[in-house]
Structures are given as C-alpha cells and as structure tokens.
Amino acid sequence: MILNSTELKVAVRSLRILEEALGALREQLEESNPRLFKVTSKAYAQRIASLQSEIAQYLGEHPADLSLILCPAELAVAPSPSPADSFKGT
C-alpha cells in the first residue's frame, strides 16, 4: 500500500522498470522460447498488475498527486485546432 507521495514516486519508477524488463524479456524469448517466456514473465506481470492497482488506489484518494508522476509534456493540454487551421495549405 502506498502511503505518501514519496512512495508513489518509487512505485511508479518500479513499475516503469518492470515494464521495460518485461519488454526486454519478450523481445528475447517470446519467439525463440515461448514456453520459457510464459513461465518467466508471469511474476513480472503479477507485480506490474499489483503496482498498477496500488497506484490507482492511491491516486483515487489523492488525485492532486497525479502531477507528481506525469512529465510536463503529459500535463500540457494541446490546444484545439481553430477552424482556420483546416484551410491552411490548400
């Protein structure tokens, strides 16, 4: 269970590391040895699901902390194109 914003940051970092590790494992084993991949990836997938659940629960209770884990580009809202933009280049 995540109790504060520091633990949230650690959980998100751990989640990203595990997702990258699972991706690398998939690249190395999925085609060459699918059975081994299935066995070895199970623990990664379970921990990823657990972290995702903990993060979602914490953010449900502390929605303002979402800004702590998003990079600035993810926080920015893209402006809506104006009607005039659709005529550019024609």
* Per-residue pLDDT reduced to its tens digit, 14-70: 999 999 999 999 999 999 999 999 999 999 999 999 999 999 999 999 999 998 888
Provide the whole-model pTM: 0.74
Per-residue pLDDT for 5 more than 60?
yes
pLDDT score of 76:
55
CA dihedral for 65, 52, 41, 24, sign (positive or negative): negative
Query: Residue 77 — very low, low, confident or very high, per pLDDT cuts 50/70/90?
Result: low
pLDDT score of 69:
85
pLDDT score of 88:
47
Domain residue limits, the chain: 5-69
Name the DSSP letter for residue 65.
G
CA pair distance 72, 79, nearest whole angstrom: 15
Residue 41: enclosing H or E segment and its boundaries? helix 34-61
Are 48 and 22 a contacting pair, CB within 8 Å?
A: yes
CA pair distance 20, 28, nearest whole angstrom: 12
Query: Residue 90 — very low, low, confident or very high, per pLDDT cuts 50/70/90?
Result: very low
